[in-house]
Structure formats: structure tokens, C-alpha cells
Structure 1
Amino acid sequence: MTQRIFFSELKTKASSVDSLIFKEAICRTLVEEMYEYMGKLRNIEVQGPKTFLPILAMKIATAGAMILGLHHQRYFTTSAQVLLEALTFADQPEGFDVLCELVMFGQLSNPQQIIAVSESFWQALLNWSAQHGYSIECSTAIPW
């Protein structure tokens, strides 16, 4: 009975968090996770090794799910359900479902397909982010 009360209180506290904190977390995830993953994907496309692409696809899909969870201010029940639960959200970038299906069903043997699906999702994620006001700004100019 004590666990039930704890999780009920935790759920109430989580849903009362200021939406600006969610927005900041989304922007940080876009920069700190997604930009890094897409940079790695593009480097692999040029230099290899393509053997890391399946792992990278899983990371991109999971980070995308985290962004969607933050956007919808929803928690996931377990890490095993993250992608499946994220797919139920009504508002998601185009191509997220395709990427998740590749990952969930282990269809990760074709490097060109992984790259194409990830790039397509990335472009849609950038558009989706802009539509929702998740801007990515640098605080200082790049010196070159």
C-alpha cells in the first residue's frame, strides 16, 4: 500500500512541473543527443565503420522517444516499452514510426536504409521542433 501512495504522489509531482523545464530539456536533448548522433551517422556514412549503425539507430529512436515524452509531458512505464509507448503519441515527427519499426523488429542489416530513415526522421524532427517553438540557439558565435 505504501508503494501505491508513493507512486501516486510521484505522478502528481511530475505532472505539476513547469512547462518551461520540459521545453529546456527538449532543446538540450536536441543539441546534446540528436546533433551528436546525426554527426556520427554522417561520419559513418563517409568513413565507416558501418557496423555501428544499428546501435546508432537505436540511440536515435530512443532519443526521439524521449523528446516526444517530454513534449507530451508523459512518462514511460518501462524502458522496454519506450518506443512502443512513444508511437501512441498523436503529435510526432514524420518518419518516427518508420525508424521505431526498424529498431523494434531488428531490421538493421541494411546500412543505406538505416542512414536514409534516420536522415528522414532528423529532417522531420527539425521541422517539428521549429513548429513547436523548440529553437536551438548558440550563446556564442563560432570563431571560424
Structure 2
Amino acid sequence: MLPYPAPTTREEKMKLVAQIKDRLLQLHGDAILAIGLYGSLAQGIDGPYSDIELRVITKDGFSLPGHEFIYPPFKIEIGMKQKREAMRSAATVDDSWAIKAGAYAHLQAIYDPDRLLDEIRTRPMHISDEAIRDVMREFMIWEPYETMGKIRNNKLAGNHGYLALGAKDLAWQSAKLIGLANKTFYTTRARTYEESLQMPSRPSGYDELIELVTRGQLHDSELVYERCEHLWTGLNEWFGEMGIEYKLDKLPF
């Protein structure tokens, strides 16, 4: 087994975080408004192989390049955003909102003299129900609808090897929709399925497909296909209950 990725303690990670903070401030001074830690390390649920994720907020008009690199035994990701861009990005809703919003909502201040991160942390929830519904409508067309078409095509063609991949895609896409519908973001990507099953609003057929996906029981292609069809029916019924119509009765032009 290769010695990397290598395990490190939380204390070792936080010591490097402090060094990075000091280095950035030494180089750029008051052009940096805030430095925040996010991800599992910020939430206190990191493991020995977790990476270090930092978000740096700079003054408007002062741009710095981001960095993602290996500095053995650590992996570090440093995102750089100007203040106006950070505020806008934190309040943006798209199909990955439930996966990515925590990167702002869970920011832990490492350097924040003016408490800017307090405001940024609240921004992900400043999204309207209408915006969420619009994103769900668009995403249903872009991903689940297309995925289900591929699943049916490959079933008809006898390419049963694709069905497991299609099932994973449909499950992940549905989890993103569930987070949006419940206006709830996931703590980490790794816990998405676990947390989605606890949310009150979710389509019928979802739990059953997730059971197969999370247990790796995707060898029975007929069962996998059946569960995908059940979830697809459930997704459409669920959209109907929410009053989200994604099909048109006339050309849009």
C-alpha cells in the first residue's frame, strides 16, 4: 500500500492552518478581509485522511489565485474570492446547492477582524422558494429525465451493465433534489444519502433504490431497473404534489 494519502491528527492540521494564515497575511496584509475554514475539519468531524479546506475573502478589486496542492503529509485547498463575489456566491442557488452550501454555512473563522464571515454564513439560506422551484424544474429536465431515458435505452438494448451506473446517477440526482425541496444542505458529501433519508419530503421509491446503491447490491439488473422505474414514478408524483410542472404543452418559441 502506498504511504499516501497519509494520516495526520487534527492538531497537526490546525497547526498548518495557523501557518498558512500567517503566511497569507504576511504576503497580502489588509487586502485580506477574512480567512475561514470549511469542510469536515471546520465541523469537527474530520478523519485522519481529511484535507484542509480554506476560503480567503479579499477586498473588492484585489484578486488572488486559488490553490489546491499536496504538501506532504497534507492536502490543502485554498479558495480565493473577492468580497462582492463571495457574498453573491454564498447566496446562489443551483442544482448543487444542497452539496455546496455548507462550504459557506459552516465557515469557521481563522481570521475575521470585522466579523464578515458571520454575514456570509447566513447567505445560503437567503434563497427564495421560487428560486428553488425554478432550479428543481430545470434540473429535472437536465439530469433525471435524461438519465431515465438512458436507463430505458440500455435496458432495451440489453446493455445491462449500464444499469448500475444509471441507478447511481439517478440516486445522486434525486438526493440533490431532496436537499433543495427541504431547503436543507448536507453536512458532507459522504453523508448525503444517510442524511437525505431523514428529510421529511422525499419521493417514493427513493429509499429502496438508495438501499441497493449504498449496500453495493447492483448485480441484479432486473431489480435495479425496477427500483429505478419506481423512483422515476415517485419523482414525478412528488413534483406534482409540489406543483412543479416541467413539461410544456407547446413549443417555447
Give the TM-score of the pair, scaled to structure 2. Answer: 0.53
Of 147, 156, 159, the residue aligned with 1:46 is 156
Counterpart residue number, 1:134: 244
Task: Give 1:28 deviation, angstroms.
Answer: 1.1
Matches within 5 A, 1:101-140: 101-138=211-248, 140=250
Stretches of structure 2 that go unaligned for 5 or more consecutive residues are 1-33, 37-107, 110-115
Are the structure 2 counterparts of residues 125 and 14 from structure 1 closer, same or farther at C-alpha, using a change threshold of 3 Å? same
Stretches of structure 1 that go unaligned for 5 or more consecutive residues are none
Rounded to whole Å, the distance in 1 between the matches of 2:35 and 2:208 is 41
Matched, 1:97 2:207: yes
Tell me which moved more, 84-93 or 1-10: 1-10
Matched, 1:76 2:186: yes
Q: For residue 179 of structure 2, what is the amino acid of its counterpart?
A: G
More relative contact order, 1 or 2 (CA 8 Å, 6+ apart): 1
**Secondary structure of 1:94's match?**
coil
**Secondary structure of 2:143's match?**
helix
Rounded to whole Å, the distance in 1 between the matches of 2:249 and 2:117 is 38
**Secondary structure of 1:89's match?**
coil
Give the root-mean-square deviation of aligned CA atoms.
2.0
Give the TM-score of the pair, scaled to structure 1. Answer: 0.90
Task: Give 1:44 deviation, angstroms.
Answer: 0.9
1:4-62 Cα offsets, whole Å, 9 max, x none, are: 14765444101011221111111111111011010001001100321111111111001
State, as a whole percentage, how many aligned pairs show the same letter: 26
1:98-127 Cα offsets, whole Å, 9 max, x none, are: 111110010100110011000011101101
Structure of larger gyration radius: 2
Matched, 1:85 2:195: yes
Counterpart residue number, 2:49: none
- If each structure's strand is expressed as a fraction of its own residues, which one has the higher value? 2
Rounded to whole Å, the distance in 1 between the matches of 2:242 and 2:212 is 26
Of 139, 143, 153, the residue aligned with 1:33 is 143
- If each structure's helix is expressed as a fraction of its own residues, which one has the higher value? 1
Rounded to whole Å, the distance in 2 between the matches of 1:58 and 1:8 is 36
1:118-140 Cα offsets, whole Å, 9 max, x none, are: 00111011011011011113385
